[in-house]
Structures are given as C-alpha cells and as structure tokens.
Structure 1
Amino acid sequence: MTSATDDLRLSADFAPATYDDWRKLVDGVLKGAPFEKLVGKTYDALKIEPIYPRARDAAPIAGRPAAAPWQIVQRIDHPDAAQANAQALHDLENGATGLEFEFAGGPGARGFGVADAAPETLAWLFDGVFLDAGISIVLNPVLGRQNAGTNLADLIEARGIDPAKVDIRFNYQALSTMAVRGAAPAPWPNMERPFAKVVGDLMGRGFKGPFVLADGRPVHDAGGSEAQELAFALALAVAYLRMLEAGGIALDVARTALSFRLSADADQFLTMAKFRALRLLWARIEQACGLVPKPVFIAAETAWRMLTQRDAYVNMLRATIATFSAGLGGANAVTVLPHTLALGLPDPFARRVARNTQLVLLEESNLAKVSDPAAGSGGIEALTQALCEAAWSLFQEIENAGGVFPALEQGLIQRKVAATRAVREANIARRKEVLTGATEFPNLHEAHVAVLDAKPAALAPSGEAAIKFDALLPMRLAAPFERLRDRSDQILKEKGARPKVFLANLGTPADFTARATFAKSFFETGGIEAVEFLPSLSSPLPSGERSTPQGSGEGALALALDRNPSPAPAPSAQERPLPSGEVKDLTAAFKASGADLVCLCSSDKVYAGQAAAAAGALQAAGAKHIYLAGRPGEQEAALRAAGVHDFVFAGGDALAALQEAWRLMEQT
C-alpha cells in the first residue's frame, strides 16, 4: 500500500548540492590554508578524506548469515580450574553463547590463564557444561605444553558425545605463538607434518573444526598498523594451508580447518574496514587456489593495547566502540576483554560488564539485523579498498621472503611493526593520540578499582628454543604515563603527599583559565599534582593614579595654568606590571605549596607585562624549575633570561617533559 507521503520530498525546495559547492564553502573557511589540512592519514599512510560520495556500485560482503547474531564469547582465564568452571557456568547462565579458554603461557593469556591442560584439569573445567547444547567452545592450546585439543577430544568421546554436534574451535596457533615468544623449538618445515597430523586426527574423529587459527593479534598488540595485521594474518593462513595440504588434506577441506582472529579497537571506521577487507583478501587467495570463495569464520577480540589502568571505566566505552565496529564489520564472534584486565584478574562485575556490552548491542540495539551495513558508504568502502591494497602489498613482501616463518627469522615483519610502533608511541607522547584518563583528563583522586586476588600460575620452562628472533612483544599505549603515575602513588603512600607543581596564574580568569586547565592536565598525567594560585581580582590600578610625566608636555602646561590635566591612558589590565602586593601573595603561596616546580599560566599579553617579574620573584623564592604554559614566540629570549626554563604547549613531547620534571624533582 502506498502512503500519501511516499512522494513527499523535503529537499524539493533546495537546489542539489554538489562537491564543488561544498569545496567553495570549505575554501572560504580555510582562508588560503591548504585543503590537505582536512585530510587525515592512518598509520599505513592511507588518506581519509573529509567527505566522500556514496559508493553506488558497492555490494554487501558475504559474512555472517543474514540477521544472525555474532557469538557472545566470554574468556575463561582463572588459574584455578574449579574457579574457572564456576566462571564458565555463570557466564552461560547469564547470556554468553560461547566460552574461550585461555591457558597460562599462551599469547592471549594476558598474564593469567588456566594453569594447565591436563585431562583431569579439563574434566574440572567442563564439569556441568553441556558441550552439545549449541554453545561455542573456543580452545587456545599452548605450544610446548599439554595438547589441550587432543585432551578435550578424549573427554568428549569419554562422555559419549557426538563430536559432530560440538561447536568447537581448537585454535592451534603455533606460528603466532612463536612470533610473540621470539623463539621456535624447531624450524617450521620440521613442525609442519606433526601439526598436520594433529589436525587430521581430529578431523578423522568427526570434529567439524575449525582447527587452526590465523591470529593477527600479535601484530596489533605490538603496535602495528591495520594493513600489517591483515598481511600477517593472511601469511599465517597461507602457511597453515600449505601445511595441511602437505599433510594430505585436500585444499577444499583444508580451508574449512582455518579461521581468523583480529583485534578490534576504538577506531570505529578503521576497525569496520579491516574486518571487511579480510574477507575480500581471503576470497582472493581462495580464487588463486582455484577454489570458489566461501565466507570464512572471523573472530574479534577487543584490543589489549588500548586498555588503561588509570580511569579504567573508560575502557568500557572503548570496548563498546570496538564491539560495535567488529559486529558491523561482520565478525562471527566477539570476545570483550574486561575493563580491569590491565590491573589484574577481573572480578564478577567486570566480567558482567564485558558480557552485557555485547548483549545490549545485540538485544537492544539490534546491530545484527542488517547484513554489512557499511556497504555503499563512500568512506568505509574507500578505506576497505585501500586496506586491501596496502595489506596485499605487505603480504606479497612476506611471501617473497619465503613465507611467514622465514620473514620472522629475517626480522622483516618485526622491523615494519617496530617502525609503526615508534610513530604511534611518539603520537601518544605528544598527546596527538589521546587516551582519556591516562594521557588527557587525569584524575589523581580516582577510586580504587577491584580485581580478584589471584596469582598467575607458575610455569615450568616450555623447552629449549632451537631458533631465536626478535619477538612481537605486546604493549599498552598508556603504559609510559602510567609508570609515572605509579611513582606518584608510591610517594603518596610513603610521604603522605604527591610531588607538586605550582600554577602561577597571572591576570584575570579570562586570561589564565584556558592555559591553567591545560597545565593542570599536562602535569597530572604524569602524577604531579597541580596547586593553583588565584590572583586577587580586586587590585586594578587605582582610579586616580596618573602616569603622565610632571615636567613637560600638555600635562605640565595644564598644571601651570591651574587646570585639571587629562590623564594619559592607563595600561590595560593585561599589560600592566605585576603589582608588588600580588608578587608577595604569589611568592607566599608558592612557599606554602611545597612545590619545587612552577608553571606560569596566562595569555600572551599578560606574559608580556608580568611573566618576567613573576619568574624572577619565584626563582628568588626558591623555585627549582619554571615552566610557562604556551609557545614563547618572540618573547622566548626575554623569558629565559628572566628565569623561565621550559615551555609546555599542545603538540609538544609531554612524556619527555614529564620524565625530565621527575628527574629534576628527584635531584632536589
């Protein structure tokens, strides 16, 4: 039935807008500045334009079945098997549709994990878990330790359960584990046949798989880019495909033994594009193998590197964006890292939040009801295609090196990741890439966040490493700033007070508020507490004060004629010298603050009239190091001569400045 409003066009009275029309408006705002100012760039140097036309020739990328939800997977990582079992049962009773078992020593264990994968431990873990009830089981066996996959298969058969009815991903991931360890027990060609045999045996027992995981997380954890993560995952998958084929498994069957996993972070559009790009890239490899492409299983895990220990509740927001992006990008399963994981083993509340993050997005926001909602979006389609091209080029480099294992031995992958990590760390240090609560907007008085009182399992050495190379070591972006905060906490615990910086605000609130707010955040991200001086607002120049010289000019003539002279204009409040009473108040407040460091905060005009006097007075009062908030410009030489040592401003290396501030304080 057609509605009367179907033909109503609300835009009918407006002329069609074109890209050229938009550019004219933008150029007017830019006022001669280059348009490239508005073009962003990813860590792969991919351009992100400020506006895109609709991609009219785009089609949805085949992924999850239409309107099918992704699996809500909850990680099980308590070192004690009985406690881990209790976690698993509670999660299943409260909305999880999958369980991911992390074992100690694995690349994704994050310092914890079930202590071992012995048969008796697995019996404890899966006690009361109905393995054939439609839930998904994700097993992450650890290279060089008990074979969790084979042991679980034995348990399933011992319980009389049909292996074909168990939805289980075995996730053997030898190559990515070796990449994280920086070591291999043997050359990869010597390991291929035994691994292929393990997979072949599980297939022969009736399990559907997948069995082998192409895991891109090591690159992401180590600070790599999206294209580098994709290229690494592709190279892993091709290596495993060759391994399985060499083991006598036909290619069409071997590809069903593979699945992928990528990290999902708080960059919404890049995450969506990355998951979409992986499907296109894998389809290209399938075609190159003479296979008709089929949708591959792709799991997502929210990113480890984006987690912060400080203001940990912000991690909930990061995880929500990451889950949203992975889900809309077509992920088949999502595991949310609890928001307190960087602090320790998460408690029931943190686990509940991780679980409910997905439940709300699926059950209340209905995100799974639309297949590939990004299809046709000009920006995401362009980003997807650009990622495909960049990742394919890197993948070809890895293949030209002989494959992923030789590329790791040669350091090819590690060098590329290290270069990206260095740029990323520089941007974090300069606060160009912001981590709320850690590198911006810190809260030195935040409440304690609870975690479980659990110790990681003690692990025996996993065996001698026959081959060693540089490891892809996991990192967290906020860690350098958090180390400074930790030092501050320790001093607070030992001495009852944190190190301090005295903010010497000059002028009126309109003059100093913006830069004082910036300076407070700047220093407190490093654990240095800001103590503010608020100047008196009731000391303007006296209304009868005269500044006209008494001996010459119109003023002298007026006095001679006994007339009231017209006073010369008084200096503005911004440009007047610092009153002597305010100098006394300033130095007294500084001495009472207990700070060694000082930061002057005001506008450039106030600095011109008052900064030098304030710096000199504060230095005479015992200030060890004086900063000024803002770029010095032409006043730099005069300010330094007056006692200002350093300048803090947006875009400067905040981390280096804070580390130097700590060095200076520890010298006193």
Structure 2
Amino acid sequence: MNTAASSDLPYLDAFPGPSREAWRAAVDKVLKGADFEKKLVARTADGIRIEPLYNAASGARAFRSEAGRWHVAARLDHPQEQAAQALAIADLEGGADTLTLTPAGASAARGYGLVADDVATLDRTLGGVMLDLIRLRLDPAPQGRVNALMLAALIEKRGHAPADLSIEFGLDPIGVLAGQGSLAAPWPEVGRRIATVIAALKQRGFLGPFITIDTRPYHEASASEAQELGAALATAVAYLRALEAQGLPLAEARDAIAFTLVADTDEFMTVAKFRAARLLWSRVQEACGLSPKPATIHAETAWRSLTRRDPWVNLLRGTVAAFSAGVGGADSLTVLPFTTALGLPDAFARRVARNTQLILLEESNLWRVADPAAGAGGFEALTQALCEQGWSRFQDLEHQRAGDLQGMLAALANGHVQQGLARERDAAAKGVTTRRTPLTGTSEYPNIRESAVSVLDIAPVGKTTSRPSGSTAERNPGEIIKSLIDGAQRAEALIAPHQALAIEALPSHRLAEPFEALRDRADAQPTRPVVFLATLGEIADFTARAGFARNLFEAGGLAAPSGDGFAQRGATDLDALVGAFRGSGAKLACLCGSDAAYAEEGAAAAELLTEAGATVWLAGRPGDSEAALNKAGVSSFIFTGCDVVETLERAQALASA
C-alpha cells in the first residue's frame, strides 16, 4: 500500500492519499466485530505472519550472476540407453537447453534413473547430443564421485575442451546421507575424496561447480522454508570446512558450490525463499571474509505436492511453482512432469513440462525483469522474515555436536534434524487430514470416475547392493578417468566401504498419500462402496451440506450420489427417503439439511433409517441437538475441520462390511 503520490502520475495529487487507518476502519466495518487476526492474518509453518496488506518497501538485493533467461532443464532418468537418448534429443529439440542426468540409485530417480556401467554406454545414451552447446547437470546420488569421473571421461573421450563446457558435477555426500542414511567412509575421508576429485577435475580444465547442495531430501521430509534454508547453509559451511581442511583456498571452495532448492505451490513463500537464499549465502561469504559472489541456484518443482489422483491438477501446481522460481531468481529450473508420481513420464508429459517453462519465458516474459518482487511490501517483508528465520535455523544446526562431528553432519547423526522434521511432518499431516491444507482433485473436488493417464511401461530399476572387495582409495582420479576412457567398468573405480557412517534416513512423502491409500482401497473392492445421502427439505436447504458430504466421501473413493431430495409440502417425505435408502444397497446413511431441518426432522429421520438397518451420520456440527440426535441413532458427525482420513477409514469399514 503506497501512501505517497508518484511524480510519474501527477493526477493522483488531485485525490486524497489513502491511509492505513482509513483502510482498517473500512475493514472493521466489514468484519462486524469478528477477530481481525483470525480472519485476515495467516501464519506460515515457521510462524511468519502473512498480513492482508503491506506498504511499499525496499530491501537488500541479491541478483543472479547472469541476468536474462533462466535455463530450461529436463531430467534424463530412463534406464534404457536407446529410450533415454531419444528422450534427450526430444527435450533439446523441444526447447530445453539443460540436461540433468539422474543416475539409478539417486533419490530423485524414484526407482528409475540412468544406468551406465561404462563410458561407452554413457556415450551412446548421449548420442547426438552436442555437449558443447548445452548445459549438463548431475543429480546427487550414491557413487557420486564415480559419476563425476565418468562424465569427465566422456568429455575427454569426445575431445571437448572442458573449460568450454558448462557442467555441474553434483557431488553431495551430505545430501545422500540425509536421504539414504549412509556414507561409505568417515567424514574426514569423504572430505578428502571430494577435495581430490575437485582438484583433479580443475587440473583438467573443468570449471565446476562441483558440489550441489541438494535440499530436496529435507523438503520431502516436510521441511518448512526456514528449515530448508538452514539446512542449505549448514551443509554449505560443512563443505567449506572440509575443503579448506584439505588445503583448498576458501574462495575456490566457495566457487565449487551450487544449490538445488525446491519450488513449491505457495507462490509468495517460494519467491521469498529463493530471494532469501541469495541474501543468506552472501552473508555466509561475508562471515568467511570473502567478497560475496552470486549463488548458482537450480530449482525443481516439489515432489511432495504431486498427486496420483487427478494428476492433471499437477499441471497447475507445476505452473505456479515454475512461475515462483522464475520470479524468485532461479538460474535453471526443472518442472517435474505431471505424471511423475505415477511412474516414468512419457514424451507427452515431458513436453508439457518443458512448455510450461517456455510459455512463462516467451509469452509471459518473466525473465525480462531482474527482480520482479523488489519493492513489493509483502515479498520484501517475507524475504526479510525468512532471512531471519533461516539464519536462526542455520545457527541452531551449527551448534550441534556428535562425537567428532559438528554442524550439519552432527545434526543428522544425533537425530536433531530428524526430530525437527518429524514435528513439522506431524503438523503438515494434520493440515492435510483435516483439509485445512486442501489438495485439489484429491482431498477436495475428487473425481472418482477419472480416466487413467499414460506413463512409460517399464519396471523400476532394482537396487545394487554389491560392493567391491578391494580398495582403490589411493588411485589418482586422473588415472581412473584414463582407465574409464579405455573401457574400464564403473565397479573398478568404486571404493570399498570403510567405517561407514549410518543415520536414520529422512523419509520422502507426498502430501496426498493418505487420501490416495483410501482411494486405492475403495477401488480394490468388487463394487464401489456407497454412502446414502439422506437429504432433508427442499433442494435449497440441503444443497450446501449434501455437496460438502459428497465431496468428503468421494475423497475416500466412496460414491455418494444425491438427487432432488424428498421434499413434500414444505417437509420431508420420510417414507420415500427410507425407501430410497433400502433400494440404494448402502449401509451408511448421512443426513444432510439445514439446522432448522435437523431440529424439526433430524431425530425422526435418524430413527427410521436406523430401523431400516442404516448406520446414521450427520453433516454439520450438532450444537445443542447432539444429545437428541445421538439418542435417535446418529452415531457420528462430519464437519469442516474434522479428521477426514480417520472419518473415511470408518466410513469405508461401515460401507464395505
């Protein structure tokens, strides 16, 4: 809310400037005594206030290293080399300029992923791809050191000058530890290996970045925005310490680091999170005595927001997330195809994911403004609040100790991170199960007659548990690259586990899973379970609650048809209602009507339906009539804010008994 007249708009001087006091007086008049805080002020998972109105404001700016378009990235995660090669070419011809190689075993592969046991296979998988004309990224994964060396070997085999290529090598053993629960060696040894690989790659001319700080494991375990930022900073500092301990200058260690953040469906918080990430990384660099350089940030749309039911809604989720990441200043972006939660996406789903970005770039021109949110009071306030909260979370992680470990590694080893995320996960689950966090197409407005969408017909890749018995720890990475070029297998470059570090792995959840399990259970029945909506009075009297009840029951896969009702001369024909119940084959009946209808006819209808063999529920809060309705046979009430998942579990049991 800008109270100052703009010199560019002199005609505004003819009108009185609005004041916050005048606005608040108008709001209070509309609220009619209702609590302002409860009605118009929301809070994020971190407790940050979301005000209904903000004044124009300015804040610290942290720009990208290169202004202009963000890079459109597509994941390459098909395990069959010919199919992967065809998909890569289609993505690049269709507008992508970045390929993210997602190896089998990576958490991001979701059970699929590229399979390449030697450089020749990787070469065929990227056949026809001109590596000097695109950007390449490696997703963090187990055996990340070998993945990086294999990619370097491919570059040398093809004769490219490494300095002419843009490659992010994706080393992130801390992220892999968080998501999968183990490191193959003690942390000092892991740090030594990372430093050795980086030195070898830099010596051969590669520019990096070499380390990717991946916050997806934390986000998928229900991290809030501040928790995600705190984890990113604490992980970055852990790598800075490890590389500095191996003799790498701090400035070079900083330059080796890039970030992958999650773009979620909350536009305001996602924009603020990306802006805050840049500011916080600058602050860390200043604290290290460095002159700040812009962070390199890749964005990926949120896995946890995807749904298996009515997956077309994922197109909207992906669009909001992509918009938010673009406005927030991501350097590159991956939009997960809308069928990702169902299996390996086909060419159509991948094309739609690419085009989501291309439309935002080419038609909406989002890239033409360096920081579109600058000066907007809401975004500036949220950015500053996230900077404060993220820094506080970072400091909390830095204070952790576990044996010889400190900071992020100690926080993972002693369970501090897991406990914090578990609390956040419980709160998020409560929001979903009560539908205070609505999931369109799943918990709200479900379609129990939805048609199936297509995914690629391919089985997930089995996990390899075998490890080499010998150790190649002392082998020079340059020698490994040469042997890989000469045809050596991946296994020859692996290092046998030694005093492995194990922790409790972070779980990966999608918000929709509780409702999807209910729908799957209902769909598995020989016939779909049915709930009879026992409507009272005229259509205008029961439509709202009948719609609420149908929406609720269908979220659990139960059919809940309703018609024109049983109104007769201003009342309800209870005989016709009971007869319709008997003919429906249902075992559960839910009364739907107005408060007046419940007071006048609710008890009588409940008694008759109970006598007819129904278990009777009622849509709405019972109020003062609860005792009388219970006595008449109403055994449960459904209402806004109830635990919908628990309610649907009981409804399924009753309807299927």
Give the TM-score normalised by structure 1. 0.90
Contact preservation (8 Å) 2:439, 2:512: yes
Per the alignment, residue 437 of structure 1 pairs with 441
Q: Report whether the alignment pairs 1:315 with 2:314.
A: yes
Structure 1 unaligned blocks of 5 or more: 541-572
Residue 310 of structure 1 and its aligned partner are, at CA, apart by 0.7
Contact preservation (8 Å) 2:337, 2:345: yes
Residue 406 of structure 1 and its aligned partner are, at CA, apart by 0.9
The partner residue of 2:640 within 636, 647, 650 is: 650
Q: For 1:134-533, what aligned pairs fall within 5 Å after superposition?
A: 135-140=134-139, 142-144=141-143, 147-401=146-400, 402-461=406-465, 466-491=500-525, 495=526, 497-533=527-563
1:386/1:348 Cα in 2 relative to 1: closer, same or farther (>3 Å)?
same
Residue identity opposite 1:510 in structure 2: A
Contact preservation (8 Å) 1:182, 1:469: yes
Residue 146 of structure 1 and its aligned partner are, at CA, apart by 7.5
1:524/1:179 Cα in 2 relative to 1: closer, same or farther (>3 Å)?
same
Per the alignment, residue 588 of structure 2 pairs with 597
Per the alignment, residue 556 of structure 1 pairs with none
Contact preservation (8 Å) 1:145, 1:462: no
Larger radius of gyration: 1
Secondary structure of the corresponding residue to residue 631 of structure 1: coil
Q: Report whether the alignment pairs 1:619 with 2:649.
A: no
Q: Report whether the alignment pairs 1:132 with 2:166.
A: no
Per the alignment, residue 545 of structure 1 pairs with none
Provide, for residues 206-245 of structure 1, a one-character-per-residue CA deviation record: whole Å limited to 9, x for no partner: 0011000111111111111000000101111111111222
Instruction: Tell me how far apart the structure 2 counterparts of residues 536 and 517 of structure 1 sit (CA, whole Å).
Output: 16
Residue identity opposite 1:412 in structure 2: H
The partner residue of 1:633 within 620, 623, 629 is: 623
Per the alignment, residue 26 of structure 1 pairs with 27
Secondary structure of the corresponding residue to residue 208 of structure 1: coil
Task: List, as ranges, runs of 4+ consecutive aligned residues in structure 1 with deviation greater than 4 Å.
Answer: 5-10, 462-465
Contact preservation (8 Å) 2:537, 2:565: yes
1:462/1:48 Cα in 2 relative to 1: closer, same or farther (>3 Å)?
farther
Instruction: Tell me how far apart the structure 2 counterparts of residues 287 and 277 of structure 1 sit (CA, whole Å).
Output: 15
Residue identity opposite 1:53 in structure 2: N
1:474/1:301 Cα in 2 relative to 1: closer, same or farther (>3 Å)?
same
Instruction: Tell me how far apart the structure 1 counterparts of residues 420 and 153 of structure 2 sit (CA, whole Å).
Output: 42
Contact preservation (8 Å) 1:183, 1:466: yes
Per the alignment, residue 48 of structure 2 pairs with 46
Residue 528 of structure 1 and its aligned partner are, at CA, apart by 0.7
Q: Which moved more, 1:28-37 or 1:102-111?
A: 28-37
Secondary structure of the corresponding residue to residue 74 of structure 2: strand
Contact preservation (8 Å) 1:156, 1:163: yes
Contact preservation (8 Å) 1:118, 1:146: no
Secondary structure of the corresponding residue to residue 645 of structure 1: strand
Contact preservation (8 Å) 2:522, 2:652: no
The partner residue of 1:588 within 579, 588, 593 is: 579
Residue 462 of structure 1 and its aligned partner are, at CA, apart by 6.0
Secondary structure of the corresponding residue to residue 290 of structure 2: coil
Structure 2 unaligned blocks of 5 or more: 1-5, 401-405, 468-496
Instruction: Tell me how far apart the structure 2 counterparts of residues 450 and 342 of structure 1 sit (CA, whole Å).
Output: 12
Contact preservation (8 Å) 2:535, 2:566: no
Residue 145 of structure 1 and its aligned partner are, at CA, apart by 7.0
Residue 437 of structure 1 and its aligned partner are, at CA, apart by 0.2
Secondary structure of the corresponding residue to residue 484 of structure 1: helix
Provide, for residues 176-217 of structure 1, a one-character-per-residue CA deviation record: whole Å limited to 9, x for no partner: 111011223232123110111111111111001100011111
Secondary structure of the corresponding residue to residue 530 of structure 1: coil
Supply the RMSD in Å over aligned alpha carbons.
1.6
Residue 6 of structure 1 and its aligned partner are, at CA, apart by 9.1
Secondary structure of the corresponding residue to residue 376 of structure 1: coil
Residue 488 of structure 1 and its aligned partner are, at CA, apart by 1.5
Secondary structure of the corresponding residue to residue 137 of structure 1: strand
Residue 120 of structure 1 and its aligned partner are, at CA, apart by 2.4
Secondary structure of the corresponding residue to residue 305 of structure 2: coil
Residue identity opposite 2:424 in structure 1: T
1:8/1:458 Cα in 2 relative to 1: closer, same or farther (>3 Å)?
closer
Provide, for residues 254-311 of structure 1, a one-character-per-residue CA deviation record: whole Å limited to 9, x for no partner: 1111000100011000000000000010001100111111111000000000000011
Residue identity opposite 2:646 in structure 1: A
Q: Which moved more, 1:136-145 or 1:240-249?
A: 136-145
Contact preservation (8 Å) 1:39, 1:47: yes
Secondary structure of the corresponding residue to residue 33 of structure 1: coil
Secondary structure of the corresponding residue to residue 11 of structure 1: helix
1:64/1:310 Cα in 2 relative to 1: closer, same or farther (>3 Å)?
farther
Contact preservation (8 Å) 2:61, 2:279: no
Provide, for residues 304-328 of structure 1, a one-character-per-residue CA deviation record: whole Å limited to 9, x for no partner: 0000001101100100010000011
Residue identity opposite 2:412 in structure 1: L
* Number of equivalences: 616
Residue 663 of structure 1 and its aligned partner are, at CA, apart by 2.8
Per the alignment, residue 480 of structure 2 pairs with none
Instruction: Tell me how far apart the structure 2 counterparts of residues 437 and 7 of structure 1 sit (CA, whole Å).
Output: 46
1:141/1:62 Cα in 2 relative to 1: closer, same or farther (>3 Å)?
closer
1:7/1:654 Cα in 2 relative to 1: closer, same or farther (>3 Å)?
closer
Instruction: Tell me how far apart the structure 2 counterparts of residues 503 and 60 of structure 1 sit (CA, whole Å).
Output: 56
Contact preservation (8 Å) 2:602, 2:629: yes
Secondary structure of the corresponding residue to residue 342 of structure 1: helix
Residue identity opposite 2:102 in structure 1: E
1:146/1:388 Cα in 2 relative to 1: closer, same or farther (>3 Å)?
closer
Contact preservation (8 Å) 2:145, 2:197: no
Residue 14 of structure 1 and its aligned partner are, at CA, apart by 2.7
1:7/1:254 Cα in 2 relative to 1: closer, same or farther (>3 Å)?
closer
Per the alignment, residue 491 of structure 2 pairs with none
Contact preservation (8 Å) 1:64, 1:70: no
Residue 471 of structure 1 and its aligned partner are, at CA, apart by 1.5
Q: Which moved more, 1:596-605 or 1:186-195?
A: 186-195
Per the alignment, residue 494 of structure 2 pairs with none
